[in-house]
Structure formats: C-alpha cells, structure tokens
Amino acid sequence: MADAKKLNTILAVLAAVILVVSFSALAYTLVPKGEADVLVVNGTEYAWADIFNDFELYNFTVDDMDYAGISIEELLLDAGVENPETHSYKFTARDTYKQDVAWADIQEGYIIESGPAENDFHRAIFPGTTHSFWVYDLASIEVI
Amino acid sequence: METRKMDKYRMLAGIILFGSLWGMLECIIGEISPSWFPGAAFLGGGIGLGLMMLTRRLYGAMWMQLGMAIVAGVVRFWSPVIGTCVVCSALAIMAEGLIFELIFNRPTFNIHGTGALNMRKPGTLAALGIISGFTIFTVGFMVTQIMTPLLTGGIFTFSNFIGNMPSYVGTGFFAALFGAVSLPLAVLVKQLHIDIETVKNTWYYTAAGGISACCWVLVFAFPYA
C-alpha cells in the first residue's frame, strides 16, 4: 500500500512537472520574437510593407495550390550575399522555429505574403521539399 | 506483467483492425484539422495513446501495440496525401508504438487489471496519461524532425534540432492534456465487460476484415473526394 502511495505521488509530481515545463515552452513559442514589420536578410532589413512591391512577383503552383511570391534567390542577391551557391541558409520564424535550406532549394524558393492556408503568412515556400521546411511568419534569413 | 494466451489469428486480426483505424484517423484528421487545433497532438496523445491502451485492456497482450503502430504507419505510407513526408510520418507513428511498449511493458504500469499496484484510480490514470501522452507525442515529433531531412535530402543540424526544442515540448502540452483524458477513458472501457475472446469467430473476423478494408479504402479515396 505504501508502494502504491509512493508511486501515485511520483506520477503526480512527474505529470505536474511535464505540464509546467511544456506549458512554459508553449508560452515561449507563442510570444513572437523579432520585429513584426521587417524581414532581416543577411543583416539587411526589408520592410514587409514594401518587399512585395520592390521585387518581382511570380505566380507558381505547388501541390495543386496557386501562390504568388517573390524569388528568394533575387532577395539574397539584393542583400549582397557573395557566392550564394557556396552557402546554406538558416530560415528563422518569429516563434524561433528554424530550418536550414540548401542553395539548390533556395533557387526554386519563394516568399509569399499570404496564401490559402491559415499559416500561409510571410511564408518561405520551397516547392521541391516537404512542408516541414516551409517556414511561416518569417523573421530572418541568415547565411551559414 | 503476464501476457494473456489468446488465439494468435484473433490477435493478428485485432492488430490489423486497430492499426488500420489508427492509420485512417491519422490520415484524415491530419488533413482536415484547422491550423488553430493541435491536430498532431490530438492524434498522438488522444487517438494513438487511446487506441493502444484500449487494445492493451481488451487483448491484454504486450507488443501488440507496436504491431498496431506498424500497421498504422503502413496505412499512412500508403495514403496518397501530397506535401508531407509520408515515410517520416509513418516512422513517427511506429516510434510512438515503441515508446508505448517501453512504458507500459513495465510491471509497475500494468494496466491489465490483474496485478497493478493502484492503477485504477482516475487521478493515477490521468497522471499516467499526461506522462505517456507527452512522451509518446514528443518522441514521435522528434523522430519526424530527424528523419525528414535525412530521408528527403534536406539539411539536418543538431543546433536547429535543439533550437526547435521549445516547439516540440510546447506542442507536447496539448498531447499531455489529451492523454490525461484518453488513457483513463480507454482503461475504463473495460468496465463495460467487453470480452474479445467470447465474440464468435464468424462475427469477429467479418467485422475486423470489413472495418479494416473500409479504413484502407477511405484513406485512398479521401484525397480525391
């Protein structure tokens, strides 16, 4: 009986710790980091309000969905990245979610302002990759 | 924990039936759940854990749930859903099954109902649901994050994996909550005195085969509906 009581206590404490830690992590991801109105590319700031007017907008289709977005390759070249084909790139969202993307995928990639899905907001889309590489609510692109 | 002696063909049919159900729900709920709803956490901590615990109670057999997870993973792999790494999702489901076995094959967590220390109290079951729901989901999530870049030719970096840890752990909060409900419910279903072994062979195999076939057809037809 004593063992049962001890086990119940251990389970309750462990469950409480899991709830507190996971809720804290959730709260951390829900608080956006970085500035909402700019995208930082290789140290250069681009205003979201202007970026879709300053760069050419391309129409493309992925998985039977139609999008319009700017070329990530053109954006990186504009930001002064030298020898871009020799690098990989780290895409970071405002919730700190990160993905590294190779140049081959960058060349086919776009950033959209909005799209059909609810999380299609300031989203980097790489047509040749699975959706887990598509970063939404984009905050920055770093050269690595 | 003792494994109950049951007709191996009956158990195999159960593995296919519940694995197909799980896989079908993974494919369909995963696709239709709105972005505000933590669908993946519901599938791992709610549906996956619930079905595995339900079968553990109904059949009383260890390692059956890993078999179910493998069937569910194969169903997920078979699904013609586009845009996601189906191999990775399938592996994540199988990882969830393995984690379940590692937790619930321990004599301490015997939910079989024959020798548990105190595993029938709702509070204890809810706590165990939180722990197992969280663990099963987050491990499955991490497996996906590791396997997706490796299997699709993408870039996997350990620093990103660690940097994204708040996302895995944070989403696990919902899986823990779903687990707190699904595990006690699945355990309590036994109170309905359902005994799989007493169901007539004709009924049992017909129902298992028919429901499994429906699940596979639904999964294949759903993207075209």
Q: What are the tens digits of pLDDT across the range B35-56?
A: 788 999 999 999 999 999 999 9
Residues from chain B that touch A63, judged by Cβ atoms under 8 A, are: 82-83
A14 and A72 housed in the same domain:
no
Helix (H, G, I), strand (E, B) or coil at A23: helix
Which of B137, B117, B54 minimizes the C-alpha distance to A11? B117
Q: Residue A72: is its pLDDT beyond 80?
A: yes
Q: How many domains does chain A have?
A: 2
A2 and A53 housed in the same domain:
no
A43 and A17 housed in the same domain:
no
A67 and A107 housed in the same domain:
yes
A89 and A115 housed in the same domain:
yes
E strands in chain B: none
Query: Do B83 and A131 lie within an 8 Å CB cutoff?
Result: yes
A55 and A21 housed in the same domain:
no
At A125 the pLDDT is 95
A60 and A20 housed in the same domain:
no
In whole angstroms, give the CA distance from residue B111 to residue B104. 8
Longest CA span, chain B: 56
> Which sign, positive or negative, has the C-alpha torsion B200, B202, B206, B209?
positive
- Per the structure, the complete domain to which residue A13 belongs is given by 1-31
Query: Do A88 and B160 lie within an 8 Å CB cutoff?
Result: no
Instruction: State pTM to two decimals.
Output: 0.86
Q: Looking at residue A99, which CATH number applies to its domain? A: 3.90.420.10
b/e map B66-101, b = 16+ CB within 10 Å: bbbbbbbbbbbeebebeebbbbbbbbbbbbbbbbbb
At A47 the pLDDT is 96
A87 and A127 housed in the same domain:
yes
| Mean pLDDT to the nearest integer, A44-67 | 92
Nearest residue in chain B measured CA to CA from A3? B117
Q: What is the ipTM of this complex?
A: 0.87
Q: How confident is the model at residue B115 (pLDDT cuts 50, 70, 90)?
A: very low
A25 and A53 housed in the same domain:
no
In whole angstroms, give the CA distance from residue B43 to residue B26. 6
A137 and A71 housed in the same domain:
yes
Which comes out higher in pLDDT, residue B17 or B118?
Answer: B17
Binding-site residues on chain B for chain A (CB distance < 8 A): 34-36, 82-85, 88, 108, 117-118, 121, 123-124, 126-128, 130-131, 134, 144-145, 148, 152, 154-155, 157, 160, 163-167, 169-173, 176, 180
Nearest residue in chain B measured CA to CA from A96? B164
A27 and A69 housed in the same domain:
no
In whole angstroms, give the CA distance from residue B68 to residue B105. 15
A45 and A111 housed in the same domain:
yes
